Structure 1
Amino acid sequence: MSSTTTGIKLDAKTKERIKEAAVLLDRTPHWFMKKAVMYWLEKVEAGAGVAEMLCESNLDDDDRLNSVLGRQRLLNAE
């Protein structure tokens, strides 16, 4: 099985938090991030939606800026 590198943009504080969490688990930051992605991927594939991924207070703050459909609607309205 071949693999490719996929990047995400993280601010310095988040990168440091990931590094610290990985150290606490005696793992690499790469391992930590990969496990996090796999965890949520499996949840979504099992039927979880955004509401299950965010706590209620974060759900209220989620204004769908990362929604593909929402961005398409904004572009079409212009």
Structure 2
Amino acid sequence: MSSSTSGIKLDQSTRARIKQAAAALDRTPHWFMKMAVLYWLQRVEQGSTATEMLIDGDIEADARINSVLGRQKLLSID
């Protein structure tokens, strides 16, 4: 099985939190991040929406910042 690296940008605080969480589980940060991605991927594949997966207070801010459709609408207005 071939694999490649896919990177995400994380601030230092988030990286430290991942390292602590992984250590608490006696796992590597790589394992922790991979399991997180696989968990969310499975939820989406089972039909969950972003609204269902986010905490109520985070929905509006997340949609404003991360919605691909929302960003496309903003770009088409200009």
Could you say which TM-score interval applies, normalised by the shorter chain?
over 0.9
Q: Which runs of 5+ in 2 are unaligned?
A: none
* Counterpart residue number, 1:58: 58
Residues 68, 51 of structure 1: alpha-carbon distance in 2 compared, 3 angstrom cutoff: same
- Superposition TM-score, scaled by structure 2 size: 0.93
Superposed structure 1 runs of 4+ greater than 6 Å apart? none
CA contact (8 A) 2:63 2:70 kept: no
Q: Which runs of 5+ in 1 are unaligned?
A: none
Q: CA RMSD in A?
A: 1.0
Residues 63, 73 of structure 1: alpha-carbon distance in 2 compared, 3 angstrom cutoff: same
Say whether residues 1:76 and 2:76 are aligned partners.
yes
Q: What percent of counterpart residues are identical?
A: 60
Superposition pairs of residues 1-78 of structure 1, within 5 angstroms:
1-78=1-78
